[in-house]
Structure 1
Amino acid sequence: MRVLAAMSGGVDSAVAAARAVDAGHDVTGVHLALARNPQTYRSGARGCCTLEDARDARRAADVIGIPFYVWDMADRFHEDVVDDFVAEYAAGRTPNPCLRCNEKIKFAAVLDRAVALGFDAVVTGHHARLGGDGLLRRSVDLPKDQSYVLAVLRRDQLDRSLFPLGDSTKAQVRAEAAERGLAVADKPDSHDICFIADGDTRRFLAERLGESPGDIVDARTGAVLGAHSGAYAYTVGQRRGLALREPAPDGRPRYVLSITPVTNTVTVGSVDMLDVSEVAADRPVWTGGPAPDGPFECDVQLRAHGEVVPATVELAGGRMLASLRRPARGVAAGQALVAYRPDPAGDIVLGSATIGSRD
């Protein structure tokens, strides 16, 4: 096949491209320039899309022996990922920008352009597997598994995707990169949100949304316990940084339970009030075979690297509804509900949807 390898400048995408060559594919490397004002140097493991990353990707392509190009997708990334991120926080939700980037950029804009140019598929360094049945599965390296952020992909997008690293651990990938002479073998992984290089999400949002003072209120009594300068700075399950005026009667910590943009309030309460048993999610994407007609049993994951919870799930009225077998905590609107079917060959992604309400 003629495939396009998305090369970020990191070790995973470099080894994925090399493995695609070894598999006999006709491979072309492409680096996505996503930052409007790329910095010259990374700050440790923070940030991406720097000039250094582009150079690392080019050097890796040279070692592998494949053609290499840079595609400027900064405006599309800013509109579909960065602006969406800010708008979601302004609406009281907690988005996952990696989900949106995969959905809108890597497997929509890039894949569409690749197909238009005559490529058959896109290869990436994501840690996930596509079985012979075409179903998306977890990586063998569970701590590095990225199937959660790939669960937004449609069936037609998965059919044109290759994930060569799903059967390897991260340690194996780094060792292979060193054996191949790739300089990125020891390059640190990028952490946090790629377009917030210093990791200060609150500052980033404040610069774009401005200060908007409001109250922090007690869920049980409605009493005002403190003030905030912007509800966007909080997320469900947060405990630190609340600066409340008075402690709880039992002396235990309080946690953020909800954010209400209409009244500009942040509601807090005890840890047990975070328990959620019912989750409703919108815009479902189903890739795990024919969609079931009624309720079915599966496991659900409600945030990246979060715990897996057994549940009864149903697709109804354009939504995915999950009744959890045991309560989950820290469930935030804007995150994804991903349904998995346990399988001896690796848990299979059935589908996903964006979390709206939870009770």
Structure 2
Amino acid sequence: MEPIVLGLSGGVDSAVAATLLQRQGFAVTGLYLDIGLGGSGREDAAAVADRLGIPLKVADIRQELEREVCAPFAAGYLAGRTPLPCAMCNPAVKFPALFRLAEEIGANYVSTGHYANVDNGVLKKGRPANDQSYMLARLTRAQLQKVMFPLGMYEKREVRQLARDFGIPVANKPDSMEICFIPSGDYAAWLEEHGFSTPVGNYVDNCGKVLGQHKGIHHYTLGQGRGLGVSGPHRYYVSAIRPETNEVVLSDGSDLGREVVYGAQPNWLAIDGLTGPMEVTVRLRHSRTEQEAVLSSDGEGIRLDMKTPARAPTPGQLAVFYQGDAVVGSAWIL
């Protein structure tokens, strides 16, 4: 049987992916990525590996996670951006760990329980209800040539049922929705605990009038309309974050639309690079919402001319470009 390395997290998705790979004739080796926070993940992964009769290896990725994800995550908030840690982690930490073990055991492919597809090295969407291609759009073309996603043709409810049918011990384990290194889900508290808090400052309007006091710019993101604690003649939204003056600009939200979006560090997947303007659909946040745009080069970065204004495209998030189900590429929003 052909060997393959699977990221085995202890959750239902990777457990079902392991089972499907076994049924396709692969000799699966599981890899649990230890980030040093304890919890039941490692024990759950061991239970799944024991149930399936597959070896389980453990990789300590704390140093790589701190260097490649946690530090840039904190720096992003200090600079007034809204970073996207999972999209940073996949190409720089998670998949490299899988590939290292694959090289050790002589496996040509690695796999995870992501809901996406790969067709001849081209990243494609999974089923609409659970598609995770957005978070995978920073993987390189070389990485995608050696990746399999067994769950790409399934929805989560179907995977849950498969887990029960297969007798997998974590079939009813709740989904993990938070950032892996912030299990509480409170990113602002994590920043403060790690010495990355920002001082209180002023809420201002577009004319500079002080509207109140904010809790520190790391608490806010563009377009945010909740938890501001400011009353006035209308509902307020965050329309700008100014780290240089420690100000958060509030407005009625009418100024949040953008007809042009700029991005940096493009990662081309379905094409070698732009040879001219290209009609695409684009996701500007991790959601199923896509908007039509014209993609073109802008020096070393990209420019998106939106067919309809995009609401609050946020620095630090990804712009992911699609043609049909195929991921053309991605860039970090400036």
Which of the five TM-score ranges fits, normalised by the shorter chain?
over 0.9
**How many percent identity over aligned positions?**
39
The Cα offsets for residues 182-201 of structure 1, whole Å up to 9 and x where unpaired, read as: 01111111012222222222
Report SS of the residue matched to 2:221.
coil
Matching residue of 1:264: 246
Note the C-alpha offset of 1:113.
4.6
- Alignment of 1:186 with 2:172, yes or no, is yes
Residue 128 of structure 1 contacts residue 137 of structure 1 at CA under 8 Å; is this kept in 2? yes
Q: 2:201 aligns with which of 207, 214, 228?
A: 214
| Separation in 2, partners of 1:180, 1:205 | 41
Matching residue of 1:45: none
Note the C-alpha offset of 1:314.
1.1
| Separation in 2, partners of 1:217, 1:354 | 27
Amino acid at match of 1:209: F
Matching residue of 1:32: 33
Matching residue of 2:142: 156
The Cα offsets for residues 188-239 of structure 1, whole Å up to 9 and x where unpaired, read as: 11012222222222222223223412211101x2101111231111100111
TM-score, L = length of structure 2: 0.95
Report SS of the residue matched to 1:311.
strand
| Separation in 2, partners of 1:19, 1:37 | 29
Matching residue of 1:134: 121
Amino acid at match of 1:17: A
- Alignment of 1:354 with 2:315, yes or no, is no
| Separation in 1, partners of 2:106, 2:131 | 30
- Alignment of 1:114 with 2:102, yes or no, is yes
Note the C-alpha offset of 1:100.
1.1
Q: 2:57 aligns with which of 69, 78, 82?
A: 69
| Separation in 1, partners of 2:311, 2:135 | 20
Residue 148 of structure 1 contacts residue 304 of structure 1 at CA under 8 Å; is this kept in 2? yes
Report SS of the residue matched to 2:150.
coil
The Cα offsets for residues 57-81 of structure 1, whole Å up to 9 and x where unpaired, read as: 1111111121111111122112222
Amino acid at match of 2:235: P
Amino acid at match of 2:22: V
| Separation in 2, partners of 1:274, 1:157 | 36
Residue 205 of structure 1 contacts residue 233 of structure 1 at CA under 8 Å; is this kept in 2? no
Moved over 4 A (4+): none
- Alignment of 1:13 with 2:14, yes or no, is yes
- Tell me, which stretches of 5 or more residues in structure 2 are unaligned? none
- Alignment of 1:238 with 2:216, yes or no, is no
| Separation in 1, partners of 2:154, 2:307 | 32
Matching residue of 2:211: 225
Aligned length: 332
- Alignment of 1:329 with 2:316, yes or no, is no
Matching residue of 1:46: none
TM-score, L = length of structure 1: 0.89
| Separation in 2, partners of 1:306, 1:275 | 19
| Separation in 2, partners of 1:319, 1:306 | 24
| Separation in 1, partners of 2:201, 2:105 | 51
Q: Equivalent residues in 2 for 1:270-349 (5 A)?
A: 270-342=252-324, 347-349=325-327
Q: Equivalent residues in 2 for 1:163-182 (5 A)?
A: 163-182=149-168
| Separation in 2, partners of 1:326, 1:6 | 39
| Separation in 2, partners of 1:114, 1:78 | 23
| Separation in 2, partners of 1:197, 1:233 | 17
| Separation in 2, partners of 1:112, 1:339 | 29
- Tell me, which stretches of 5 or more residues in structure 1 are unaligned? 39-49
| Separation in 1, partners of 2:188, 2:137 | 27
Report SS of the residue matched to 2:255.
helix
